[in-house]
Amino acid sequence: MLTVETDPGSGFCGGVIRAVSRAEEYMAAHDHLYSLGAIVHNEKELERLRSRGLRTISTLDEAPEGETVLIRAHGEPPRTYEEASSRQLKLIDCTCPVVLQLQKSIREAYARVGGAGRVIIFGRVGHAEVLGLLGQAGGDALVVEDLPMLEEAISKGYLDLSKPMEIFSQTTKSPTGYKAICDYLLSRGAHLTVHDTICAQVSGRHSHLEQFARSHDIIIFVAGESSSNGKVLFDLCRGVNPRAVRIGSAGELRREWFRDGDRVGVCGATSTPKWLLEEVAKGISAFGGESLS
């Protein structure tokens, strides 16, 4: 018999909860709402919200003048607000407070170092949050995803270690990965100011999920394909439990993954809704087991 436990710490982070709640409140009184970019990186949740009237757009040009547009938790660069104002678009700004503080810190850092130094952002190139952060420095900041990218930037002269630098992390990145980047720069004698900008709620999940993954025979990790945080957290789970499997929905479950007597752990990313985790847990229980959730 299988036993199934859903991680109580998994599910939407506070910023996503706020954005989805405000979207639902608006759509309860209106037949549609435009969202600039996917409100959450989870395909199943997006399907649910689309059925309620959410229309995802890639640029503000896709929203008719005078319409209402939601700014998701990832945040946006300053030019987005300027364009919205020029087109008389009403905004529901759901930028996460943690991201807002980070944007402010990067603006201030860029004002300090300017052309004399460098602002560095540890994050995924092209990620929505990172694009918003880059905008705070007018695009004049260096984004690095990992140590090889950092080493390449130094070797090609994009980063001068003799000049003052201030480094920030995308809020949902791995604390371990960020520390490795900072330690490397410091070991090279860089004049570096390190800012602690990973969301406390997100960083707390790392140690918790590591323990959760260790305490189960098999881990079913639920996340959308486009979730950056999902990749980070799944890699963490698989690092401590080789029997970790990543899926997007209950329909992807396979009976052959499970052994009789397995203690199964179900968890997910900060962009994975609770209802989807529960749906996956029920799907596993249907193979023959009981839920501990």
Quickly list DSSP for 7-56. -TT-S--HHHHHHHHHHHHHHHHSS-EEEES-SSS-HHHHHHHHTTTEEE
What is the distance between the alpha carbons of residues 293 and 291, in angstroms, rounded to a whole number? Answer: 6
Residue 223 pLDDT = 96
- C-alpha dist (Å) from residue 204 to 152, 198, 233: 31, 10, 11
Residue 203 pLDDT = 85
| Triad 281, 276, 44: Cα angle to 5° | 140
Residue 124 has pLDDT above 70, yes or no: yes
Residue 220 has pLDDT above 70, yes or no: yes
Residue 108 pLDDT = 97
Confidence of residue 288 (pLDDT cuts 50, 70, 90): confident
Other CB atoms within 10 Å distance of the CB of residue 278: 16
Structure tokens belonging to residue 240:
């401590």
φ/ψ of 121, rounded to 5, equals -120, 120
Average pLDDT, the chain: 95
φ/ψ of 267, rounded to 5, equals -145, 180
**Mean pLDDT score, 217-241:** 94
What is the distance between the alpha carbons of residues 126 and 70, in angstroms, rounded to a whole number? Answer: 20
Active-site pick, 76, 129, 145, 166: 129
Q: Which of 212, 245, 247, 209 is nearest to 227 (CA)?
A: 247
Residue 201 has pLDDT above 90, yes or no: no
Confidence of residue 202 (pLDDT cuts 50, 70, 90): confident
Residue 146 pLDDT = 95
φ/ψ of 84, rounded to 5, equals -60, -40
Structure tokens belonging to residue 104:
């402010």
Residue 291 pLDDT = 56
Could you read off the pLDDT of 263-278 as tens digits, one per residue?
A: 999 999 999 999 999 9
Residue 97 pLDDT = 96
Residue 226 pLDDT = 86
Distance from first CA to last CA of the chain, Å, rounded? Answer: 16
- Listed by start position, the domains of the chain span 2-11+201-291, 14-96, 98-194
What is the distance between the alpha carbons of residues 191 and 207, in angstroms, rounded to a whole number? Answer: 30
CATH architecture assigned to 14-96: 3-Layer(aba) Sandwich (3.40)
Q: What is the fold of 2-11+201-291?
A: Cobalt-precorrin-4 Transmethylase; domain 1 (3.40.1010)
CATH architecture assigned to 98-194: 3-Layer(aba) Sandwich (3.40)
CATH fold match for the domains 14-96 and 98-194: no
**Mean pLDDT score, 132-153:** 96
Residue 289 has pLDDT above 70, yes or no: no
Residue 58 has pLDDT above 70, yes or no: yes
Structure tokens belonging to residue 29:
């009184």
Is residue 43 part of the annotated active site? The answer reads: no
Q: Please tell me what DSSP assigns to residue 157.
A: T
Confidence of residue 28 (pLDDT cuts 50, 70, 90): very high
What is the distance between the alpha carbons of residues 179 and 290, in angstroms, rounded to a whole number? Answer: 40
Residue 140 pLDDT = 94
Confidence of residue 1 (pLDDT cuts 50, 70, 90): confident
φ/ψ of 205, rounded to 5, equals -70, -25
Residue 142 pLDDT = 97
Residue 292 has pLDDT above 60, yes or no: no
